[in-house]
Amino acid sequence: MTAASDYVVIDRVAKTYNPGSRQQVDAVTATSFSVKAGEFVTLLGPSGCGKSTLLMMVAGLDTPSTGTINVAGQPMAAPRAETGIMFQDPTLLPWKSALENVLFPFRAMNRPVAPFEGRAAQLLDQVGLAGFHDHKPRQLSGGMRQRVAICRALVYEPDLLLMDEPFSALDAITRDEMNLVLMKMWHDHRRTALFVTHSIREAVFLSDRVLVMSPRPGRVVEDVAIPFDRPRTLEIGETAEFNRICAHLRNRISH
């Protein structure tokens, strides 16, 4: 099933916390799937099904108990500098401006910052934050903070974008807005993307493929291709096709 174009390959990965103890937790059991280069794939599942654990393992922030993860043909052992990541909370430095926060990856990697200031500013403009470059995180709304986080994940031009429920703390209206922003940015920059959410509509709207995970111990139980053309608008959410796919996914999650 592994093809040359597969960018991320998860092969029979399982994760068990506190093995052998009374607090043993089987977070993920023997799961295999792969993501093609340039593809937007979403892991969809109920809370606590191990989807975030899987994402953290792909990021190299956690290691599988068994099985292997390959990214760009290399086995994952530690975090790699070519991965962009977004967490549930924006994780901005409260004492730095929006622009400085976007530039933070270069500082963290101990690379010169000056050559990338233009690109960072341009990204902020693209997500609709022109005029907010010098604002501190506390002066920005929740949605604006996540826009900064999107820019930060893209600024060093990673080849893989990992997103762990990045919009789940936002209200429904802002969430729709953020989905559009993310869609546009992904379209413009076209990276392989692995997205985690428990929102069915969000998953269908954003993805090329949705992988449904079972409740804990989690594993992928279904692989659903999403047929809509890109660029997509919020209106596709009202089509019968969209709602049919959502209903199908909802069914799969509850079984």
Tokens 């998860």, located at residue: 10
* CB nearer another protein, residue 59 or residue 120: 59
Paired tokens of 40: 């937007």
Q: How far is the CB of 59 from another protein (least distance, A)?
A: 6
For residues 10 and 54, what is the distance between their CA atoms, to the nearest angstrom?
9
* CB nearer another protein, residue 60 or residue 215: 60
Q: Which stretch binds another protein (CB under 8 A): 2-10, 85-93, 112-120, 237-245?
A: 85-93
Q: How many residues bind another protein (CB under 8 A)?
A: 33
H/E element, 154: helix 142-154
Q: CA-CA distances (angstroms) from residue 225 to 53, 111, 209, 220?
A: 23, 39, 4, 14
Q: How many CB atoms lie within 10 A of CB 78?
A: 7
Does residue 79 belong to the site contacting another protein (CB under 8 A)?
yes
Residue type at 99?
A: L
* CB nearer another protein, residue 109 or residue 240: 109
> Contact with another protein (CB under 8 A): which of 30, 63, 93, 247?
93
SS3 at position 132:
coil
* CB nearer another protein, residue 22 or residue 230: 22
Q: Which positions from 57 through 76 interact with another protein, judged by CB under 8 A?
A: 59-61
Does residue 114 belong to the site contacting another protein (CB under 8 A)?
no
Residue 214 DSSP one-character state: P
Q: CA-CA distances (angstroms) from residue 146 to 84, 106, 166?
A: 14, 19, 7
For residues 126 and 247, what is the distance between their CA atoms, to the nearest angstrom?
34
**What are the residues facing 68 on neighbouring strands?**
11
* CB nearer another protein, residue 87 or residue 242: 87
> Contact with another protein (CB under 8 A): which of 80, 119, 209, 248?
80
The 13-52 site mask, x for binding another protein (CB under 8 A), equals: -----x-xxxx-----------------------------
Q: Are 228 and 242 in contact (CB under 8 A)?
A: yes
* CB nearer another protein, residue 84 or residue 204: 84
Q: How far is the CB of 208 from another protein (least distance, A)?
A: 24
Q: CA-CA distances (angstroms) from residue 210 to 90, 145, 224, 239?
A: 24, 26, 5, 18
Does residue 248 belong to the site contacting another protein (CB under 8 A)?
no
Does residue 172 belong to the site contacting another protein (CB under 8 A)?
no
Strand order in the sheet with 25-36: 25-36, 6-17, 66-71, 74-75
Q: How far is the CB of 45 from another protein (least distance, A)?
A: 21
Tokens 């043909």, located at residue: 73
Does residue 95 belong to the site contacting another protein (CB under 8 A)?
yes
Site of interaction with another protein (CB under 8 A): 18, 20-23, 59-61, 78-81, 83, 85, 87, 89, 91, 93-95, 97, 104-105, 107-110, 128, 132, 136, 138, 141, 144
